[in-house]
Amino acid sequence: MKIKIFTTLIFVILFITNLSAQEDDLMNLLNTKPETEYAYATFKSTHVVIGQSIKNAAKGTMLMNIQHHFGPVNSGFYDFFGFDRATTRLGFTYGLTDRLAIGIGRTTQNKTWDGNLKIKILRQSSGARFMPVSVSYYGLVGIISLKNPDDNRYSYFSNRLSFVNQLIIARKFSSAFSLQLVPSLVHHNLVETEQDDNDIFTIGTAGRVKLTKRMSINFEYHYILSKQTAKDYHNSLSLGLDIETGGHVFQLFLTNSQGITEQYFLPYTSGSWLNGDIHFGFNIVRTFTIIKPKEFEKD
């Protein structure tokens, strides 16, 4: 009899303890605030193809970007199908904070130096804080460093300047597909004729389709809204392949734009895909860690 009473007592104690634990777990679940999950790797590089992506250089890292556009393939064997008429740029970008990156570069086109910055305004997220898209601002100032020609067009320093302002609106729809919208304003202080636009507006779209863990197909198209410029030039269209190899990202692409930086290829793309004015090009991006993140300082 005593054994039955003791066994029953133990069963009751265990039942009450288990019920109490379940109640504590339920209360903890109710009291737990949902976490915010941010979208990451919307694009693998700071460029989709030749234009800017929503991606920034991470805090404390420096990106070295080598960009190369060959001449049009329809230039024939004499120019070795464009290989003799290349445009190149060497650029460096540094992440000052998680939201702000600054950069400098130099391109062979008009021997142009550029300073640029990219600022994260909004980040796509779900959970406690819902934000359907990521938004960044990109700005660039270009300075032509050519010697002053006979017509003295560069006698005033201001005549050498150009400016780019972009708003980048992006969304990662899935692990395999990302899309962004890019309205842009390009301003050149000096243009060829009085009829030419000093201010050129464009609207662009760009996307990424993931093929494997380290490869993706990218596309990019920029439509010229300014009427006079649209009459004289073509819209920029580029198709590319991204290959990620650890600290490097290789980007191979075809484009109808010879220009590398936005103040050149957005308004002044003279090539046409239909006429065979297609340029082969590549970007090589190398990441250097300048300031090691805190979580890795002990490693």
CATH number for 159? 2.40.160.40
| Full domain range(s) for residue 22 | 1-32
State whether 196 and 273 are in the same domain: yes
Q: In terms of domains, do 164 and 217 share one?
A: yes
> What's the whole-model pTM score?
0.84
- Rounded to an integer, the average pLDDT of 62-77 is 92
pLDDT at 25: 53
Question: Of 33-42, 93-102, 153-162, where does mean pLDDT reach its minimum?
Answer: 33-42
pLDDT on residue 80? 82
Burial of 6 (0-12, 13-18, 19+ CB in 10 A): exposed
Contact 163, 74 (CB under 8 A): no
Instruction: Flag whether pLDDT at 2 surpasses 50.
Output: no
Arithmetic mean of pLDDT, 268-281? 94
Residue 12: which pLDDT band, with cuts at 50, 70 and 90?
very low
Does residue 106 share a domain with residue 10? no
Q: Which of 35-44, 96-105, 268-277 has the lowest mean pLDDT?
A: 35-44
- Are residues 91 and 7 part of one domain? no
Specify whether 134 is located in the same domain as 233: yes
Q: Residue 84 above 90 pLDDT? A: no
The predicted pLDDT at position 30 comes to 52
pLDDT > 80? residue 197: yes
pLDDT reported for residue 297: 41
Query: Checking phi first, is residue 54 left (phi over 0); if not, alpha (psi -120 to 50) or beta?
Result: alpha
Statement to judge: residues 218 and 236 lie in one domain:
yes
Does one domain contain both 23 and 164?
no
> Residue 161: what pLDDT?
98
- What total of structural domains would you count in the chain? 2
Query: Do 159 and 185 belong to one domain?
Result: yes
* pLDDT value, residue 8: 46
pLDDT at 123 exceeding the cut of 90: yes
Residues 109 and 211 in one domain: yes
Q: What is the C-alpha separation between 29 and 99, in angstroms, rounded?
A: 33
Are residues 152 and 239 located together in one domain of the fold?
yes
Same domain, 48 and 73: yes
pLDDT of residue 299: 33
CA nearest neighbour of 261 among 98, 145, 107? 107
Q: What does the alpha-carbon distance between residue 165 and residue 148 come to, in Å, rounded to a whole number?
A: 27
pLDDT at 16: 37
Q: What is the pLDDT of residue 76?
A: 83
For position 9, what pLDDT does the model report? 39
Q: Is 136 exposed, middle or buried (0-12, 13-18, 19+ CB in 10 A)?
A: buried
Average pLDDT of the chain is 88
Do 116 and 237 fall within a single domain?
yes
Report the C-alpha gap between 139 and 145 in whole angstroms: 20
pLDDT in tens, 203-260: 999 999 999 999 999 999 999 999 999 999 999 999 999 998 877 889 999 999 999 9
Rg, C-alpha atoms of the chain: 27
What pLDDT sits at residue 31? 58
